[in-house]
Amino acid sequence: MSTNGTEARYVALFRGVNVGGRTRVDMAGLRELARELGLAEVRSHLNSGNLVFSHDSGDESALGELLEHGIERRFGINVSCLVREAGYLREVAAGNPFPEAAGHGKLLHASFLSRRLPEERTTTLDPAGFHPERFRLGDRVIYMYLPDGIGRSGLAAALSRPAVLGDTVATTRNWNTVSKLLELVGS
């Protein structure tokens, strides 16, 4: 939440929207819904469920639930939504443990998590078994460098298993999208 009394900027990351045809959401309709829900300065990025908006709530979870319930009512689908304040997104970008890969935005990914993932959940993964793919845990994020892309990545598949995530909600964006969202929350 903004400390000066103005509205804070947020990013809403929807899990699985417009991927594989199962959960189709029209972005113009989603922007309209967000405005009806009281969100301001609403902008979307791509057709994959990324919104940027302003609000004075300060409660990321409540804003996520507001959007989830609104989508269920309007579009008849149940999707998870992670809302993060702009400062958090800037911290994720600054904390990138693979800065050499940032210029290859489709190979670097951030998997945003609903909660901090305990490090012991990943200790059974042998990094050598996934080489040259690499990952690092951050604050409610898993950074992944996937030089052959995410589609055939054994590491991405391993990190998304219930043994690792449990009931933690995860939604992944490539670094190009993370960079664009940073640009949008800054404008």
- Same domain for 118 and 66, yes or no, is no
- Same domain for 48 and 71, yes or no, is yes
Question: 2 lies in a domain?
Answer: no
> What is the domain-level CATH number for residue 48?
3.30.70.1280
Q: How many CB atoms lie within 10 A of CB 183?
A: 11
- Same domain for 83 and 101, yes or no, is no
pTM above threshold 0.85: yes
- Same domain for 118 and 180, yes or no, is yes
Per-residue pLDDT of the chain (187 residues; tens, 9 = 90+): 444 457 899 999 988 765 555 667 788 889 999 999 999 999 988 777 789 999 998 899 999 999 999 999 998 888 899 999 999 999 999 999 999 998 888 999 999 999 999 999 999 899 899 999 999 999 999 999 999 999 899 999 999 999 999 999 999 999 999 999 999 998 6
- Same domain for 166 and 120, yes or no, is yes
- Same domain for 111 and 173, yes or no, is yes
Domain count, the chain: 2
Last residue within a domain, chosen from 88, 116, 142: 88
For the record, the structure tokens of 148 come out as 């052959």
For the record, the structure tokens of 127 come out as 């990094």
Range of the domain at 102: 97-186
